[in-house]
Structure 1
């Protein structure tokens, strides 16, 4: 039986019926305990769910390079699944069914090693606690993936931005305005984003040479020292002909385009659902960039970001029947329903075991 931290006295395995859940779902599973040798002292079977974030990136050049780190244990709940009356464990097989009710406000899982380290992950753990300092706990852990439930209302997403332009740092060149909308705010990979945008360049003295329209993923990371990393990863997009100075795209001739939610520009980058943790945030935008003539690098450009949310769809084939180990004839216990009392996943300092033990002898 699978066991990541083995013991000469036996093994333990935790198995859930699925590997992917939405926050707020009920996680059903079994904990299997197999004691193969007498002499193990310990009678408390514990179950835990743990959520952790981790970030790491490097900034600076050569000798001045700095590595930034972030770690955050944002969620932890530990429960007593069962308490045996006899602390000296008898040789035998046991199975403990459980139902874990997940909090609805837990952030979604995330993993990226594309130039940086950014992870937000969950594990469920089980152990029978050893009463001897010289003997390790019999324990096991399993990764589970959480997705954030759909909380937003399906609607049009729109934005507008205006910027004053200067060339060569100080020469005023007027202002330019961009407004844009996408037909909806929620997407899954493979869908097409329908985009409509207008540009008012009538008060600007600079021509817009071309306009880039992209779908981007913005990754925002934080370290424990308070430093921050922000990077946009272009996924897919196109370029349109620009507009001359002093002109305006009329509403009747608004520019329209359709872009697939797919990655054609950043090889190796995987499109994952949006995630909003404390140290790790992954968001998506339609990004519209007008490229003006001349040197405008010292002025702000009217770069427009229209937010969209990336979702995931869980298929029925992800449901896996819980199959017990071979040659398994365990003593089975009643299912235990586990509900967390925590309310804020980023302020969870609960370290007390919940008094939910079933007191039974071996």
Structure 2
């Protein structure tokens, strides 16, 4: 059963009733312990949950090549599920139900691994702690996915940007402005984002050749040394004809666009937004005007309208726990586990909270 370190004496398995939870949810599950041989030195059954971020990326080349690493354990809780009276674990089958109350402000799970590593994951673990130097702990772990709950009010989202244009670094060409409105700020993967925008080029001497409208994902990473990596992925895009100098798109003529929230290159659904300390993934509607002439040293009125991508529940969201075959365990009362952490990024609690529920031998 399970991941059997110290398995000549038996095994342990931890299973939750669902694979995905929202921060603030109650995680229900069981720890199954099967001891098949006497002589195991250890009587403490421990439950723990760990939330961890990892990052890795490379900068430079040759002798100047540097690899940046980040590792951040931002959430950890450990609880003694049961302490057996006999320090030598007896043969038998045991089940320990538990209810874990998740803090409401945990960041969402995330994985990206393509030349750059960015992961934020959670694992629940069960172990019987060995008191012998020659015998390993009996242990098992399971990954669970945690998503961030809705933290914002559903509303229209708008942004406006204005810039002074120059060509060849110094020749003044006037002012151009773009405003954009997104129908709402909260979306599920695969939904269509309804976008309208207006352009005021009436005080500019440059033509806007075309306007690019896209959905982008910004991935911001940190390392333990404080280095940062900023990646931007264009997910879905289209282009419109521009606006001539001295003209503008009136509100009644505002351009309307519909872009689907997918990665159009690979036709993949998007991972929900996450707000970790080392791994932060956010989404924007981005509108870029492309002016004629050499404006490379000039700022442009580029509009970024933030949107939040929410989680879709998987089909096995409420899959029941299946216990091992030929299982006739001694069952214990459910243990309710409440996190000690208020701030998930400042929880280094390694102390075991003792449970006064020893089994009579």
Q: What TM-score does the superposition give when structure 1 sets the normalisation length?
A: 0.97
Aligned-residue RMSD, C-alpha: 1.3
CA contact (8 A) 1:7 1:137 kept: no
Give the direction of change, closer, same or farther, for the CA distance of 1:283–1:74 in structure 2 (3 Å limit).
same
How many angstroms apart in 2 are the aligned matches of 1:305 and 1:26?
Answer: 36
CA contact (8 A) 1:193 1:258 kept: yes
CA contact (8 A) 1:32 1:96 kept: yes
CA contact (8 A) 1:196 1:257 kept: yes
Bigger mean CA offset, 58-67 vs 296-305: 58-67
How many angstroms apart in 2 are the aligned matches of 1:2 and 1:350?
Answer: 26
How many angstroms apart in 1 are the aligned matches of 2:257 and 2:268?
Answer: 24
Residues 225-280 of structure 1: CA deviation (Å, up to 9, x unaligned): 11111111111111000001111111111111111112113x38651000000000
Q: Secondary structure at the match of 1:210?
A: strand
Number of residue pairs aligned between Structure 1 and Structure 2: 361
- 2:213 is aligned with 1:196: no
Partner of 1:308: 307
Tell me the CA shift for residue 129 of structure 1: 0.6
Superposed counterparts of 1:23-42, under 5 Å: 23-42=23-42
Partner of 2:186: 186
Q: Secondary structure at the match of 1:243?
A: coil
Partner of 1:64: 64
Superposed counterparts of 1:191-340, under 5 Å: 191-265=191-265, 267=266, 271-315=270-314, 317-340=316-339
Partner of 1:88: 88
Tell me the CA shift for residue 313 of structure 1: 2.3
Residues 77-120 of structure 1: CA deviation (Å, up to 9, x unaligned): 00010010111111111110001011111000000113310000
CA contact (8 A) 2:126 2:141 kept: yes
Unaligned runs of 5+ residues in structure 2 are none
CA contact (8 A) 2:6 2:135 kept: no
How many angstroms apart in 1 are the aligned matches of 2:268 and 2:348?
Answer: 35
Residues 308-344 of structure 1: CA deviation (Å, up to 9, x unaligned): 0001121564211111101111111111111112100
Give the direction of change, closer, same or farther, for the CA distance of 1:264–1:315 in structure 2 (3 Å limit).
closer
How many angstroms apart in 2 are the aligned matches of 1:116 and 1:29?
Answer: 34
Partner of 1:151: 151
Tell me the CA shift for residue 6 of structure 1: 4.5
CA contact (8 A) 2:24 2:102 kept: yes
How many angstroms apart in 2 are the aligned matches of 1:349 and 1:143?
Answer: 20
Give the direction of change, closer, same or farther, for the CA distance of 1:202–1:62 in structure 2 (3 Å limit).
farther
- 2:77 is aligned with 1:77: yes
Q: What TM-score does the superposition give when structure 2 sets the normalisation length?
A: 0.97
